[in-house]
């Protein structure tokens, strides 16, 4: 699929290295990873920073997700800070990001924990939800 941005585990490690120092440890006591994609990133950030994981989002948590597309998912969650790996320009969400896509970059993003064979199906499900 040529209209897809494929991210690798090496890209993942770079994202973790970029995001970890952005966590404000004066206000963040725990990390909450949004299921599914945010959880991988939150676990890696927990290992790097020593900040424990939270089971639920809370005011003292950093909310971690793999992508902020529209920003709706992250907008609903309350936390001390929000960090994402991939930030789309249309998300209208203020958060720290390791990768900001260009304004005209609307490619489907394939994260290293996802199967390329399922990408078309995932994209179609996403489109049906109207996102």
Looking up residue 91, the CATH number of its domain turns out to be 3.40.50.2020
Quote the domain boundaries for residue 82: 4-128
- Model confidence pLDDT, tens digit, residues 6-46: 999 999 999 999 999 999 999 999 999 999 889 999 999 99
- Model confidence pLDDT, tens digit, residues 59-106: 999 999 999 988 888 888 989 899 999 998 877 778 888 888 887 888
Distance of alpha carbon 44 from alpha carbon 50, whole angstroms = 10
Distance of alpha carbon 63 from alpha carbon 128, whole angstroms = 26
Distance of alpha carbon 24 from alpha carbon 4, whole angstroms = 32
Q: How far is CA 109 from CA 8, 22, 114, in A?
A: 11, 23, 10
- Place 2 in a pLDDT band, splitting at 50, 70 and 90: low
Domain count, the chain: 1
Strand 108-110 with 61-68, pairing:
unpaired
Predicted model pTM: 0.85
Q: What is the pLDDT of residue 116?
A: 76
């Amino acid at each position: 699929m040529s209209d897809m941005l494929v991210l690798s585990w090496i890209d993942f490690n770079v994202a973790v290295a970029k995001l970890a120092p952005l966590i404000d440890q004066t206000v963040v006591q725990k990390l909450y990873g949004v299921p599914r994609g945010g959880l991988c990133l939150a676990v890696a950030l927990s290992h790097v920073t020593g900040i424990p994981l939270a089971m639920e989002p809370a005011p003292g948590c950093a909310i971690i997700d793999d992508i902020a597309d529209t920003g709706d998912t992250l907008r609903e969650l309350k936390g001390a800070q929000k960090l994402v790996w991939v930030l789309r320009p249309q998300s209208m969400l203020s958060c720290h990001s390791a990768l900001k896509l260009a304004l005209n970059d609307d490619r489907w993003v394939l994260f290293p924990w996802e199967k390329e064979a399922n990408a078309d199906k995932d994209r179609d499900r996403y489109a049906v939800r109207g996102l």
